[in-house]
């Protein structure tokens, strides 16, 4: 899994990591074994939470949409938000909050500017349904999709620095095309950002 | 429903040393009544302490004579293959000091004076309880609890164990608790106390020497308390506005089912509980505030903690609402402690912690097992 390896490279040994929308805790477990991190996950789904508990991961049941003000400024070395920002009610607020809480933040997003998405909309005239975004417009949890351009614009408007960026094609690889034209050939991207 | 631990017997432990209480007094000749379920393993690493709440006791699981009698108060969660699995764990549940179910309390006879302690029993605190439980742990050769678990006031004890004996506890489940009582909580307790104290049969607490006891007061205290244990929704579902005789009688006898239920609860309680113990327990709850010695800073109060702590709250609990549990969680996180938090959807109000329902059970099982 490419993104997991990149996240692993961007996290330093023994650091404290908060994973917002941690799911079953896959990323945190990986980082615990490879980097001996101090891990905290935030999750809303009951069965995911139970999986985290069974794996011994500290997990907090909390709805990110209801705010993160219970987390103190700069209380984590790294805050991870993987494939989560597009389901939130207020992505701008979320970005401001995670960069307040973490010294560094790692965000992964699906790219709505990918050529397949663009082509699908152009040719069919319907909301694109693709492998990374398989749901119909009316039942998708992704209420705030954006392109990589959009995301970067929002970062700059909110004075958030992008310190690293890697985009991947649909099979999860980074190649010459995704490097040269990330917003066209990247199906998703991973960013390291900070205040 | 799965099987129970079966027949259990209560045991008595006489504390080898006197207990210097937080109030400054010393309590001598203390006895703790307790029960155990399951087997302690060879390295004594599987022991779980169960801490009871306000009106609870040491009889947490199983039965005394036959299975048709009322089972222990947490039988739904403690037993073979249950959330607190007695096939894996050695479970210990003491009746706390000041109680009225066997352990030394106001209704015990002071061996030195040969009289009931009654109102002269010292005001004890959660810290005093934990100190007495530590002596019980020594007696059972338990150097370090695998976990301490408790709901409500029991959760406060589990939390206090983590603060006071960081090296003697690995995990704690703090369920339906709060870091301290709110003014509203104290207000309800004060109504309960006034109900007891203003009962003419209270006789300044010395009722054990007479024929009468303040049963009416105790009954009222329990009725008020009971309302705070249930949610509006639970009461609506259970009783609605059902009438006992199906019609209004235009009088003040029992008409609505909820009145009948509350009176019954009050009657049963007033026959089996000691009024001085009730006063003591409510006072102890009012006093609980681990941050008191840290200028109100709960984060500092939690600094000594080493245990992994799981905090659980229930959506319909308005006595100690999820917001109150989050105060504990946020302070633990700020103190960089291993913290897990669950907010479970349940309609049973504060009493939710007594029921073995889905996610609550699986979370406890997972937490204790890993």
Residues of B in contact with A71 (CB under 8 A): 333
B323 occurs within a structural domain: yes
Q: Are A37 and A15 in contact (CB under 8 A)?
A: yes
* Sign of the dihedral defined by the CA atoms of residues A182, A187, A190, A193, in that order: positive
d(CA A32, CA A28): 6
Do B103 and B122 lie in one domain? The reply is: yes
What pLDDT, on the 0 to 100 scale, is given for residue A167? 95
Q: What is the domain extent for residue B196?
A: 185-283
Q: Are B38 and B91 in contact (CB under 8 A)?
A: yes
Do B224 and B345 lie in one domain? The reply is: no
Searching chain A, which residue's CA lies closest to the CA of residue B329?
A60
Q: Are B235 and B262 in contact (CB under 8 A)?
A: no
H or E stretch covering B194: helix B183-197
Instruction: Work out the mean pLDDT of chain A and round it to a whole number.
Output: 95
B4 occurs within a structural domain: no
Do B169 and B212 lie in one domain? The reply is: no
Do B301 and B262 lie in one domain? The reply is: no
Q: How confident is the model at residue B370 (pLDDT cuts 50, 70, 90)?
A: low
Contacts for A16 with CB less than 8 Å, ≥ 6 apart: A37, A38, A39, A40, A75, A76, A77, A78, B336
Residues of B in contact with A58 (CB under 8 A): 308, 338-340
Distance from CA of A60 to the nearest CA of B (A): 5
What pLDDT, on the 0 to 100 scale, is given for residue B244? 86
H or E stretch covering B48: strand B47-51
Note the pLDDT tens digit of each residue in B137-173. Answer: 999 999 999 999 999 999 999 999 999 999 999 999 9
Q: Is B350 part of the annotated catalytic residue set?
A: yes
B68 occurs within a structural domain: yes
Question: In terms of C-beta density within 10 A (0-12 exposed, 13-18 middle, 19 or more buried), how is residue A61 classed?
Answer: buried
d(CA B180, CA B204): 28
Do B202 and B321 lie in one domain? The reply is: no
Q: Which of B241, B256, B283 is the last residue of a domain?
A: B283
Residue A183, both tokens: 């917003």
For residue B154, how many C-alpha atoms fall within 13 Å in the half-sphere facing its CB? 29
Do B131 and B198 lie in one domain? The reply is: no
d(CA B68, CA A101): 56
What pLDDT, on the 0 to 100 scale, is given for residue B345? 95
B6 occurs within a structural domain: no
Note the pLDDT tens digit of each residue in A126-165. Answer: 999 988 889 999 999 999 999 999 999 999 999 999 999 9
Mean per-residue pLDDT, B338-364: 95
Nearest to A53 among B330, B334, B363 (CB): B363
Helix (H, G, I), strand (E, B) or coil at B304: coil
Question: In terms of C-beta density within 10 A (0-12 exposed, 13-18 middle, 19 or more buried), how is residue B40 classed?
Answer: middle
d(CA B86, CA B48): 10
Helix and strand tally (H, E) in chain B? 10, 14
Nearest Cα neighbor of B150 from B58, B38, B33 is B58
Q: Which of B255, B283, B311 is the last residue of a domain?
A: B283
Instruction: Work out the mean pLDDT of chain B and round it to a whole number.
Output: 95
Distance (Å) of CA B77 to CA A84, A144, B72: 36, 43, 10
Nearest Cα neighbor of B152 from B130, B127, B178 is B178
Residue A2, pLDDT > 80, answer no
Paired sense of beta strands B109-110 and B115-116, if any: antiparallel
CB within 8 Å of chain B, chain A residues 20-79? 38, 40, 46, 49-50, 52-56, 58-62, 70-72, 75
What pLDDT, on the 0 to 100 scale, is given for residue B353? 96
Searching chain A, which residue's CA lies closest to the CA of residue B363?
A50
Nearest Cα neighbor of B118 from B138, B145, B98, B135 is B98
Do B243 and B171 lie in one domain? The reply is: no
Residue B66, pLDDT > 90, answer no
What pLDDT, on the 0 to 100 scale, is given for residue B1? 52
Do B116 and B261 lie in one domain? The reply is: no
Paired sense of beta strands B145-151 and B47-51, if any: parallel
What pLDDT, on the 0 to 100 scale, is given for residue A132? 80
d(CA A148, CA A155): 11
Q: What is the CATH number of the domain that holds A14?
A: 3.40.50.150
Contacts for A20 with CB less than 8 Å, ≥ 6 apart: A42, A64, A68, A79, A80, A81, A84, A98
Do B173 and B47 lie in one domain? The reply is: yes
Contacts for A88 with CB less than 8 Å, ≥ 6 apart: A64, A65, A94, A143, A144
Question: In terms of C-beta density within 10 A (0-12 exposed, 13-18 middle, 19 or more buried), how is residue A144 classed?
Answer: middle
Note the pLDDT tens digit of each residue in A160-193. Answer: 999 999 999 988 889 999 999 999 999 999 999 9
B254 occurs within a structural domain: yes
Note the pLDDT tens digit of each residue in B1-52. Answer: 568 999 999 999 999 999 999 999 999 999 999 999 999 999 999 999 999 9
Q: What is the domain extent for residue A7?
A: 2-194
What pLDDT, on the 0 to 100 scale, is given for residue B252? 87
Do B312 and B347 lie in one domain? The reply is: yes
Q: What is the CATH number of the domain that holds B95?
A: 3.40.50.1820
The number of angstroms, rounded, from the C-alpha of B129 to the middle of its chain's C-alpha atoms is 11
B3 occurs within a structural domain: no
Q: What is the CATH number of the domain that holds B253?
A: 1.10.1740.110
Residue A30, pLDDT > 90, answer yes
Searching chain A, which residue's CA lies closest to the CA of residue B344?
A46
Residue A1, pLDDT > 60, answer no
* Sign of the dihedral defined by the CA atoms of residues B202, B207, B210, B213, in that order: positive
B295 occurs within a structural domain: yes
Put simply, the answer to whether B359 touches A71 (Cβ < 8 Å) is no
pTM of the model: 0.95
Say if the ipTM goes beyond 0.90: yes
Q: How many domains does chain A have?
A: 1
Q: Which of B250, B283, B316 is the last residue of a domain?
A: B283
Taking each helix axis as running N to C, give the angle between helix A2-10 and helix A26-35, from 0 to 180 degrees, rounded to the nearest 10: 50
Do B117 and B75 lie in one domain? The reply is: yes
d(CA A30, CA B14): 50
Do B158 and B76 lie in one domain? The reply is: yes
Q: How many domains does chain B have?
A: 2
């Amino acid at each position: 899994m490419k993104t997991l390896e990149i996240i692993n490279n961007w996290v330093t040994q023994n650091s404290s990591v908060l994973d917002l929308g941690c799911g079953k805790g896959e990323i945190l477990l990986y980082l615990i074994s490879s980097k001996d991190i101090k891990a905290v996950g935030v999750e809303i789904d009951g069965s995911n939470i139970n999986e985290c508990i069974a794996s011994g991961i500290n997990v907090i049941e909390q709805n990110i949409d209801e705010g993160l003000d219970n987390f103190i400024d700069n209380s984590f070395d790294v805050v991870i938000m993987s494939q989560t920002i597009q389901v939130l009610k207020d992505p701008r607020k979320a970005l401001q909050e995670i960069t307040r809480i973490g010294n560094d933040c790692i965000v992964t997003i699906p790219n709505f500017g990918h050529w397949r998405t663009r082509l699908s909309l152009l040719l069919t005239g319907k909301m694109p349904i693709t492998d990374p975004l398989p749901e119909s417009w009316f039942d998708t949890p992704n209420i705030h999709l954006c392109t990589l351009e959009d995301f970067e614009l929002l970062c700059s408007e909110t004075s958030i620095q992008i310190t690293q960026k890697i985009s991947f094609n649909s099979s999860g690889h980074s190649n010459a095309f995704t490097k040269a034209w990330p917003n066209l050939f990247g199906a998703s991207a991973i960013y390291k950002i900070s205040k | 429903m799965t099987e129970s631990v079966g027949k259990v017997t209560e045991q008595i432990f006489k504390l080898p040393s006197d207990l210097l209480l937080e109030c400054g007094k010393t309590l001598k000749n203390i006895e703790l009544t307790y029960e155990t379920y399951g087997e302690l393993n060879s390295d004594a690493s599987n022991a779980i302490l169960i801490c009871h709440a306000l009106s609870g006791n040491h009889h947490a699981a199983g039965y005394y004579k036959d299975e048709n009698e009322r089972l222990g108060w947490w039988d739904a969660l403690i037993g073979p293959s249950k959330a607190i699995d007695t096939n894996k764990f050695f479970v210990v549940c003491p009746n706390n000091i000041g109680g009225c179910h066997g352990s030394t309390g106001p209704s015990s006879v002071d061996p030195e004076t040969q009289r009931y302690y009654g109102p002269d029993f010292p005001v004890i605190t959660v810290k005093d309880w934990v100190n007495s439980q530590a002596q019980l742990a020594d007696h059972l050769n338990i150097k370090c609890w695998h976990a301490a678990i408790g709901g409500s006031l029991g959760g406060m004890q589990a939390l206090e164990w983590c603060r006071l004996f960081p090296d003697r506890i690995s995990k704690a489940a703090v369920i339906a608790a709060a870091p301290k009582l709110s003014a509203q909580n104290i207000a309800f307790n004060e109504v309960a106390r006034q109900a007891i104290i203003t009962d003419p049969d209270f006789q300044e607490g010395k009722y054990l020497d007479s024929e009468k006891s303040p049963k009416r007061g105790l009954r009222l205290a329990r009725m008020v308390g009971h309302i705070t244990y249930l949610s509006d929704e639970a009461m609506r579902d259970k009783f609605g506005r059902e009438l006992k005789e199906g019609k209004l009688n235009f009088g003040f006898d029992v008409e609505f089912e909820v009145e009948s239920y509350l009176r019954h609860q009050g009657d049963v309680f007033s026959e089996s509980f000691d009024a001085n113990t009730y006063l003591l327990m409510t006072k102890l709850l009012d006093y609980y505030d681990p941050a008191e010695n840290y200028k109100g800073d709960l984060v500092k109060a939690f600094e000594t903690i080493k245990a992994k702590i799981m905090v659980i709250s229930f959506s319909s609990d308005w006595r100690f609402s999820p917001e109150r549990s989050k105060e504990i969680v946020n302070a633990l996180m700020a103190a960089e402690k291993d913290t897990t938090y669950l907010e479970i959807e349940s309609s049973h109000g504060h009493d939710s912690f007594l029921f073995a329902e889905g996610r609550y059970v699986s979370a406890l099982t997972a937490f204790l097992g890993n």
